Amino acid sequence: MPRTLTNLLRSLGGSARDLAPIVLVVVFFQLAVLQQPIPNLADLIIGLVLVLLGLTFFINGLEMGLFPIGESLANAFARKGSVLWLLAFAFALGFGTTIAEPALIAVAAEAAAIAADASLIGKDQDSVDNYAFGLRITVALSVGFAIVIGVLRIIKGWPIQYMIMGGYVIVVLITMIAPQEIIGIAYDSGGVTTSTITVPLVTALGVGLASAIKGRNPMIDGFGLIAFASLTPMIFVMIYGMLV
């Protein structure tokens, strides 16, 4: 595929520009502020080359694979006209991509340690593991639920701001009664659920749906799925913290 090869080479330059700020920041702080030499310069250079290649491949793969399939699925569902199947797909996508998310697994383990420390649960390994697993299921369910709600919003054309603000109000209210220890984790869990593969796919799905359904504007109705996916975990995790 010679055409893709030239594409790859062209986007290498773009990736280099994207990565330059990190390198500058790290080098500046290391040399000027901490006034220390850079350890393992060879490792740093090898690593940077890998990051550069990786970002380039990823962006190209995005345009070749993830974006088109997200949109074609959205189109197919819109043409099929079965809302139920679409919602089932939305839930599966949200739940399936979140349950295996490594960042979430890490946060859940951390949260379980905190809960055990605060004597909210037993200190034995079993109850810690159970707590962490329950937390993962909770967050995955909440993301599945979020994508379902978000897709429903696109179909119905509901304005997003009232729903998000309503969600914020719920977050604020629950914060007041949730155990102190869970609040920081709950707030963070909103941010960690949406991985690098999920985001492009879900965005393509939303924009594709809003373009395929008559009377929807892809700009106003197509975005917003990620926003739901970062909001509902906060609510669900705090509720989980109160119940367990």
Partner 1 sequence: MSLLLDFLDILLATMRDLIPIVAIIFGFQFLVIRKPIVNLSRTLFGFFYVLIGLALFLQGLERALFPLGRLMASQLTDPAFIDLHALLPGEFSWQNYYWVYLFAFAIGWSTTIAEPSLIAVAIKANEVSGGAIGVNGLRQSVALGVAIGISLGCYRIVAGDPIHYYIIAGYIVVIIQTRFAPKMIVPLAYDSGGVTTSTVTVPLVAALGLGLSETVPGRNPLLDGFGLIAFASLFPVISVMAYAQLAEFINNRRSAASA
Site for partner 1 in 108-137 (CB under 8 A): 113-114, 117
Residue carrying the six token digits 């970062």: 230
Residue 33 or 243: which CB sits closer to partner 1?
33
Read off the tokens for 79: 């043409």
Q: What is the 3-state secondary structure (H, E, C) of 70-110?
A: HHHHHHHHHHHCCHHHHHHHHHHHHHHHHHCCHHHHHHHHH
C-alpha closest to that of 156 among 211, 216, 73, 225: 216
Closest separation in Å from C-beta 126 to partner 1: 21
Q: Which stretch binds partner 1 (CB under 8 A): 23-31, 120-128, 130-138?
A: 23-31
Which of residues 33, 119, 126, 243 is near partner 1 by CB under 8 A?
Answer: 33
Where do the H-state alpha helices sit in the chain? 2-28, 41-61, 67-80, 83-99, 102-117, 125-156, 160-177, 180-192, 198-212, 218-222, 225-243
Interface with partner 1 includes 25 (CB under 8 A)? yes
Number of Cβ within a 10 Å radius of residue 244: 16
Site for partner 1 in 201-220 (CB under 8 A): 201, 203-204, 207, 217-220
144 binds partner 1 (CB under 8 A): no
Q: Does 85 bind partner 1 (CB under 8 A)?
A: yes
Give, as ranges, the residues between 150 and 189 that touch partner 1 (CB under 8 A). 160-161, 164-165, 168, 171-172, 175, 180-181, 183-185, 187-188
User: Who's near 155: CB < 8 A, 6+ residues apart?
Assistant: 83, 86, 209, 213
One of 37, 196, 215, 243 touching partner 1 (CB under 8 A): 196
Q: Cβ atoms within 10 A of the Cβ of 224, count?
A: 20
Compute the least distance from the CB of residue 16 to partner 1, in Å: 11
57 binds partner 1 (CB under 8 A): yes
105 binds partner 1 (CB under 8 A): no
Interface with partner 1: number of residues (CB under 8 A): 108
